[in-house]
Structure 1
Amino acid sequence: MATASCSSLVGTASAITNYARLGLATQNELPYILRKLLCIKEPPNLLEAHLNNNSYLSRNLKAYEWNIIRTVRTNQYDEFDVPLMYKIIRNLNLVPSPTQGWDNQTPPLATEITVGDDIERIRFIRNEIVHRGNTNVQDTELANYFSIFKDLASRLEVTLMLLNREFVSRIENVETCCIDNDAQQLYIRRLKALAENETQLAKSVAKVQKDLACLGLKITGNVSKLQEEMHELKIEQMEAIPKNIRDQISKDLEKWKNDDKKFVPTKASEYVFNRLKEENCVTVVGSPGVGKTAVTRHVALKMEGMGYIVIPITVPTDIRDFYKPGQQTVFVIDDICGRFVANKHLIDSWKQILGVVENILSDNCKIIVSCRSQVYKDKKFNVLAQFKSCECNLISNDLLLSKDERKKIAKAHLGKHGNDIQAANLLQYDCFPILCFLFSRQDKMDINEFFNYPFVVFEKELNSLWGEGEDGQYKICGLALCVINSNKLDEKYLNSLEPCVRSIIDDVCEACGLNRGTSRIKIKEELNTLVSTYLRKDKDVYKTVHDKLFDFLVYFFGKKMLDCIIKHGNSDIINERFQWNNLHDVNDRDTEEFIILISDNKLNLYLNRLILDWSQGNIQGVFSNNHNMNNEKFRGLLLTQLLQMDKAEQSQLSSITQMTDVSSVFGSLEVCCAEGYANLLPWFVNQGLEINKLASSTTPLGFACIGNQIEMIHILLNLGADINKPGLFGYTPLHLSCFEHLGFDQAVLNLLLKYGARIDKRTVDGSTPLFYALYKNNKEAVKILLSHSADCNIGFYDSRRIKNEIKKIKKTYVDLDCSIEGFEKNHLEWITNNCSPVVGVHVKQNPHRVMYIMGCATPLHLMCFKNDIDMIRVLLDRNPDINKRTEDGSTPLLVACQFGFIDVATVLLEHGADRGICNNDGESPLDIAKQNNCSEIISLLSDPKVKSIKMKRKNSVMKCRIV
């Protein structure tokens, strides 16, 4: 190995030894210098965090380099080679740039001697020696190299303030030391291996180039085809809707156009069309069968003729996924929040994306919605303000079908037979259009009997089928199964071998007069005979030809086989279509005509079904979607039924929880509090449930606040509910009172503040009630909280702390679907739903960095992302820290410059924002503005005349003093 100095031997050293000596310097001493520099400029314990914060470098580091970096806390920089250290020094800006710039093709000149020049010199010389291949190094060449080594070592000693010639003496030792044969061969083998790798790499590159040339010859004839495919691929990537869904939409629109051939324009359809041209969102309201769907589709097709793209929406998230900025689009939503009653789950889903809806409506797009009257009038629907902005009620006096319009509709569907309808029957029903459609599907019916008593006629028809013997009973059985399965009877259901399905089919057969074990093949055959009259078949699923007919069938079978429907009916049927007869008001025009009334002698059967659904975890269906539960007397009867159960069963039932599709957990007690069922609360308490125990995602008091249940809140507080008790994710009742779930109620927020709720308590991500109110766009709550001195400077935690908080939750609740990815998704959705498209585009380019971008964001940052100038002014009036930085180093001013928000930048500068603060990448507001070509902001930042209001006031005071 290399030993102590023996300079007398150097002059006679062979060229090969000189080569080994260069290898020793290159592999040991040059890396040593860079490691020393790194230790001083970048302490090892800070390196990994700084690399993560540098987006460019973190993306471009190789996997094996990251493996080395992750050992830096224990191994320091010992395993770092020159290329890796060069990357770090350069990209973390640890030294000034070289005179000729980084990674130059020529070495620095002798006169270029800055620190950056010497780092660049090390890189260049190291690569030159490693890749030279020639092992013969003459004495003069060796002396020249070591002269360069000693010069740069000496300069770097001065720069790093090192004493005792630490670098130079090590290099002198390498220059003069004795290198034995083993050491010589070791360093030569290392350099030779590098040279061989380089040669092999060159050969591989040459082979690849040759292969590419051959491949180029082969594909010359297909260039135009490839270009065409690439063009199609580009177009496909630009489309917001996947091709398979676009194809399905095209088929749907073709069917619409075919159905529209029989559409008769009316004053109602013209009114809706004119309103949609004037407004961006129109809701067509009416009872079932009046033609809501036909009108919305007809109007949408007319808009298509004006250049709009028509897109039907099936589920709420479709409108977000299918929206394409800048494209004139008409979105068509049928039965937006349920067909029979207001569906709470659908309302919640639409509520989550109202920000998206707002963005869409502001982008020259249109939304046309159909909605049943009873759903539209439900108080839960009121939170969807955009869909209440323009109502077109088809059964209002102004829009109701005239006699002439009805005659034209009858002729369109029934031809010359339409003239046979008596005048009195023309005006009898609001649902005249669907009656024409349904009659056109029937044979051998008396037209005037049908239009006089249409559903009496259908009832007679079904009773006749029932009396026809087995063939008719098979048909009846098939229709009953369609009802039990909520108008979605899949062929697979009829073929199922599951015992529970077999048992249900046997019970239905028995109720229809057939034997248990009846052939399901026969039921299916008879079902197929009803297709086009009563049923339609979509992809092996049987459905009625119209929802109005299904409403009647539910009513019919509810009378004919009530016990069977209560026992086996889909939960939606049970909760939405049954009403205790004591609650029925025959004079209530909003009550559905086909509601199934439960007599007192059947009430226990119905209550037991509700308890069964409850025990199986369908808490929301029983407590939130069942309109009978709104009645205190009905709840009292349910309570009586509960008290007859075994105590152990009662206890188990009271503890049932349900998981929602947004990873939220709630229990029976919590939903009881959210709905305000005060008379059930003592039963839950008697089961031993603690008012402050966290059995769900938040406390019972939190749920009462979500539901705006003032009476329940008072009761819970009097029972000792902890007003500051947080839920799983840290949300307190005060946080939840700021959520406009059923419409914001100031009384709830004021009540909690009166009882001493902590105004600045934080969730697992750091949100205070003020921050949460801003996040949820609840401006009324923001003003109330600010008036109670809420802290404007508290925002999100940094991403590392949020990850640690999530780990703590996961340790306690192992099965809970909770992850940092979930938080990332929430932030991405919030940005998409609430911010300008330019913000969404920026974040979606690096979605994995969204936590880093939002980390440590304050309320002021949040409003800058939204470009909400009014709320920014409200916050600035509270004198927040205007220069606070997010995790990526952005101040509110940097955010405004990043996205070109000139008004925001102006008001921030007026309030003293520091234009000299840079982000973690060293970019100032002016740098950012220049990168994004924001000329207005560049001018604003470059203008020394733009002074803050504070400075102007200060100058004004000084002048007054002088005077």
Structure 2
Amino acid sequence: MPPATLSQNLKTFLANLPRHKKPPISKTQEHIVYGGNFSHFDTTLLYFLLRNICSIPEHRLKWGKKPSPTDRSVSANIERIRLIRNDYYGHVASFSLPDPDFINQWNDLFVIVKELESYIGSSTDHQDAVTRLKSCSMDPEVEQNFIDRLLVVEKLQETVENLEQKIEVLENARVPFGIKNISEWKENEKVFLETHSFPSMLDKVRAQSYVTFVGVPGSGKTATARHIALKLQNEGYEILNIKDIKDIETYCDQHDPQVFVIDDVIGKFGLDNAAFSLLSRYEDTLVNPTMSKTKVLMTCRETVYKHETLAESFLCKENNVVLVHSNELALNDQDKRDLMTKYQLDTNILSQEDLASSSHMFPLLCKLFSTRYSIYGPKFFILPIPCILNELNGMKTLYKLQYASLVLLMANQNKLSEEILESGNSTYNGNIFSEKKCRFLKECKVKTNTESFEFIDALSEMEGTYTKKCESGFTFIHDSMFEIVAYHFGHRCRKLMLEYMSSDYIANFIKVNTFDAHKMEGESKIMPKDDQQHKPEAETNVIDLSIKLTEDTLLQMLGERLFKDVESKEIFNVFGNEALKAQSVLQAFMKVMKTKSYSELYSIFLENLEIHDYRSTTFNHG
């Protein structure tokens, strides 16, 4: 019966009732019928409609009475459903049923539904529904538990779908995630200070397509470049933190503005001739970028910037360089006090005189002072390296595991993780890390079978003071800390340093000792007292973390190591090394060279080497 017909029949039925007789259904039930939605009908309403509106013949004992068991008519089965509903639901406050009784009652109900369904047609939908009811849970708590689990599953499915979409975006992205990841930058923004000279630096970046920030380690040159990049990001620029100048060509966008940031663009320890040669090839790309708004921000250590090779380079054009220690841009006293406030330091610990004579590494020193070095007072801001070396002296004696952890981090070129310690697959200069790990640990007087997680825990304990966490493990908190630890360990273990350190380190930090060489800042901590008395005052402020060689055996070993680097195609690092001028070193180098055949020498010096590499190198060692 269609809803409209049912509604009309109900109205007719109610209109024909005796005037003073109460209607058998309520106004609410009337509205439900007139609404036309059969799913809202309950058992009571259905019974009324089937009995009074649908013209179904009465069973033998009449409507409203329990039918005879042998009466299987439609009205008898409708009556039975009404009675079951009243007995087990309608007229009880709470109810439970033993399993045997439940099975008997379910069987009766199934027969009723089956007979009614056969009367209607051939469908078994209602029988199937009753069958499912036989085994489903009717406990509200259990039901809610299933609902909660389904909701969790649904939420997990949504999460998986979202992750799949993100993975697809990353896989299809033109720029790898690592190049665009700047989460660490934003964390460091909390302590960044826009100094009195910051506006002029920002103006220079806005005016030029490329700018190089030049300063000593720890002077804030990298932090400044990153801060400016983040400002440009707010203006619609895309930040790309790249390692190789070639990435500009790879990831350049011709339509949207980008800002590329490159740290230590032409070498970290010293001038990297290969990197400089490569950069020179991209001069036109930097000067005239494809997208006119694109910026390239580079950083360079002051010692590298002053190399004579760069004198006429486009990299040194005045309009494209920010010299953070210049008279115009250097931190003034107010900048320094504001920096101390950023790190929650007492600004009164430094006098006016102390501020004036403080190290160019002031930004880094504020960070270190806030975590550990406050015991040194004002002295730390004037001569920081001796203070750090003194701390390492104590650590080497009292906290051998922590010291050894720093040494291993240094030995593996500023990158260490539990995976590297376990696998030992990290290699530098052909040396497997597990091999040198044992030798370095013996020098530190730490057992070689120490668990890897103990070293990682030690590095974690020193996070913020000596180390910082990165995606793949730990690195030093700053490059200068790597150099200080390398000096502290290396000046006592020169042979290990010669054998295992990188070609870059050998080229820039291993020196042949001469009597007129500058001494390192604060070398009095290590020098004999007699030597200190004759040391010129001007030399006490020179920072030199190089390792000096004097013994013939070490000079011979250096010559052999340099030839090994030539075999590894480290041409610039070898023939640009002043140490090769020393007679003992050169003799050792030539001695190894004479053992090689013509074909071996051809392979070493000529094969697979680009001609422009040689043109960029000055061979003046004879």
TM-score of the aligned structures, taking structure 2 as reference length: 0.62
Structure 1 pair 362–502 and aligned structure 2 pair: CA distance change class (3 A):
closer
1:401 maps to 2:331: yes
Match of 1:560 among 485, 488, 492: 492
Q: Deviations over 1:523-567 (max 9, x none)?
A: 333233223321112123321011122222222222232222122
SS at match of 2:410: helix
1:610 maps to 2:554: no
Q: Which residue of 2 aligns with 1:526?
A: 458
Q: CA deviation at 1:402?
A: 0.6
Of stretches 642-651 and 458-467 in structure 1, the one that deviates more from structure 2 is: 642-651
1:622 maps to 2:549: no
Q: How does 1:560-599 map to 2 (within 5 A)?
A: 560-582=492-514, 584-585=517-518, 593-599=544-550
Equivalents in 2 of 1:553, 1:605: separation in Å? 22
Q: Is the 8 A contact 2:415 2:474 kept in 1?
A: yes
**Between the two proteins, what is the percent identity of the paired residues?**
23
Q: Is the 8 A contact 1:310 1:332 kept in 2?
A: yes
Equivalents in 2 of 1:313, 1:384: separation in Å? 22
Match of 1:677 among 602, 607, 619: 619
Q: How does 1:750-765 map to 2 (within 5 A)?
A: none
Of stretches 596-605 and 584-593 in structure 1, the one that deviates more from structure 2 is: 584-593
Q: Is the 8 A contact 2:254 2:291 kept in 1?
A: no
The code of the aligned residue for 1:621 comes to N
1:665 maps to 2:609: yes
Q: Over aligned residue pairs, what C-alpha RMSD do you find?
A: 3.6
Q: Deviations over 1:908-950 (max 9, x none)?
A: xxxxxxxxxxxxxxxxxxxxxxxxxxxxxxxxxxxxxxxxxxx
- Which protein, 1 or 2, shows the higher relative CO under an 8 Å CA cutoff with sep ≥ 6? 2
Q: Deviations over 1:320-376 (max 9, x none)?
A: 122212323322222211112111222233233333334417612222222111222
Equivalents in 2 of 1:442, 1:564: separation in Å? 30
Q: How does 1:336-347 map to 2 (within 5 A)?
A: 336-347=265-276
Structure 1 pair 579–305 and aligned structure 2 pair: CA distance change class (3 A):
same
Structure 1 stretches of 5 or more lacking a match?
A: 1-228, 681-963
SS at match of 2:322: strand
Equivalents in 2 of 1:351, 1:484: separation in Å? 32
Equivalents in 1 of 2:617, 2:544: separation in Å? 26
SS at match of 2:269: coil
Structure 1 pair 461–585 and aligned structure 2 pair: CA distance change class (3 A):
closer
The code of the aligned residue for 1:493 comes to I
1:640 maps to 2:584: no
Q: Which residue of 2 aligns with 1:551?
A: 483
Q: How does 1:287-302 map to 2 (within 5 A)?
A: 287-302=216-231
Match of 2:421 among 470, 488, 494: 494
Structure 2 stretches of 5 or more lacking a match?
A: 1-161, 426-430, 520-537
SS at match of 2:292: coil
SS at match of 1:622: helix
The code of the aligned residue for 2:609 comes to V
SS at match of 1:267: coil
Q: Which residue of 1 aligns with 2:406?
A: 479
Aligned length: 431
Equivalents in 2 of 1:362, 1:497: separation in Å? 45
Q: How does 1:877-896 map to 2 (within 5 A)?
A: none
Equivalents in 2 of 1:590, 1:622: separation in Å? 29
Structure 1 pair 671–307 and aligned structure 2 pair: CA distance change class (3 A):
closer
Q: Deviations over 1:467-488 (max 9, x none)?
A: 11xxx22222221122222212
The code of the aligned residue for 1:276 comes to V
Equivalents in 1 of 2:575, 2:262: separation in Å? 27
Match of 2:256 among 320, 327, 330: 327
Structure 1 pair 327–384 and aligned structure 2 pair: CA distance change class (3 A):
farther
Equivalents in 2 of 1:513, 1:446: separation in Å? 28
Structure 1 pair 268–491 and aligned structure 2 pair: CA distance change class (3 A):
farther
Q: CA deviation at 1:293?
A: 0.9
1:442 maps to 2:406: no
Equivalents in 2 of 1:639, 1:293: separation in Å? 38
Match of 2:350 among 391, 397, 421: 421
Structure 1 pair 665–622 and aligned structure 2 pair: CA distance change class (3 A):
same
The code of the aligned residue for 2:587 comes to T
Q: Is the 8 A contact 2:264 2:300 kept in 1?
A: yes
Q: Which residue of 1 aligns with 2:468?
A: 536
Q: Deviations over 1:147-196 (max 9, x none)?
A: xxxxxxxxxxxxxxxxxxxxxxxxxxxxxxxxxxxxxxxxxxxxxxxxxx
Q: Deviations over 1:642-688 (max 9, x none)?
A: 4545943476764442799xxx4369xx97786343553xxxxxxxx
The code of the aligned residue for 2:446 comes to L
Q: CA deviation at 1:395?
A: 0.8
Q: Is the 8 A contact 2:518 2:539 kept in 1?
A: yes
1:281 maps to 2:210: yes
Q: Deviations over 1:840-861 (max 9, x none)?
A: xxxxxxxxxxxxxxxxxxxxxx
Q: Which residue of 1 aligns with 2:73?
A: none
Q: Which is higher, the Rg of structure 1 or of structure 2?
A: 2
The code of the aligned residue for 1:272 comes to M
Equivalents in 1 of 2:593, 2:248: separation in Å? 48
Equivalents in 1 of 2:328, 2:539: separation in Å? 22
Q: CA deviation at 1:431?
A: 1.0
Q: Is the 8 A contact 1:272 1:282 kept in 2?
A: no
Q: Which residue of 2 aligns with 1:77?
A: none
Q: Is the 8 A contact 2:210 2:287 kept in 1?
A: no
Q: Which residue of 1 aligns with 2:188?
A: 259
SS at match of 1:467: helix
1:308 maps to 2:237: yes
The code of the aligned residue for 1:339 comes to K
Structure 1 pair 460–589 and aligned structure 2 pair: CA distance change class (3 A):
closer
Equivalents in 1 of 2:316, 2:260: separation in Å? 13
Q: Deviations over 1:274-320 (max 9, x none)?
A: 11222232222111111101111222223334443333222212211
Match of 2:199 among 270, 283, 299: 270
Q: Is the 8 A contact 2:254 2:290 kept in 1?
A: no
Q: Deviations over 1:204-237 (max 9, x none)?
A: xxxxxxxxxxxxxxxxxxxxxxxxx9xx99x97x
Equivalents in 2 of 1:596, 1:242: separation in Å? 48
Q: Is the 8 A contact 2:563 2:592 kept in 1?
A: no
Q: Is the 8 A contact 1:296 1:368 kept in 2?
A: yes
Q: CA deviation at 1:405?
A: 0.8
Q: Deviations over 1:10-61 (max 9, x none)?
A: xxxxxxxxxxxxxxxxxxxxxxxxxxxxxxxxxxxxxxxxxxxxxxxxxxxx
Match of 1:391 among 317, 321, 325: 321
Q: Is the 8 A contact 1:373 1:590 kept in 2?
A: no
Equivalents in 2 of 1:605, 1:492: separation in Å? 32
Equivalents in 1 of 2:335, 2:593: separation in Å? 62
Q: CA deviation at 1:610?
A: 1.6
Structure 1 pair 638–337 and aligned structure 2 pair: CA distance change class (3 A):
same
The code of the aligned residue for 1:622 comes to V
Q: Is the 8 A contact 1:614 1:653 kept in 2?
A: no
Q: CA deviation at 1:270?
A: 1.7
The code of the aligned residue for 1:556 comes to H
Q: CA deviation at 1:462?
A: 1.1
Q: Is the 8 A contact 2:212 2:315 kept in 1?
A: no
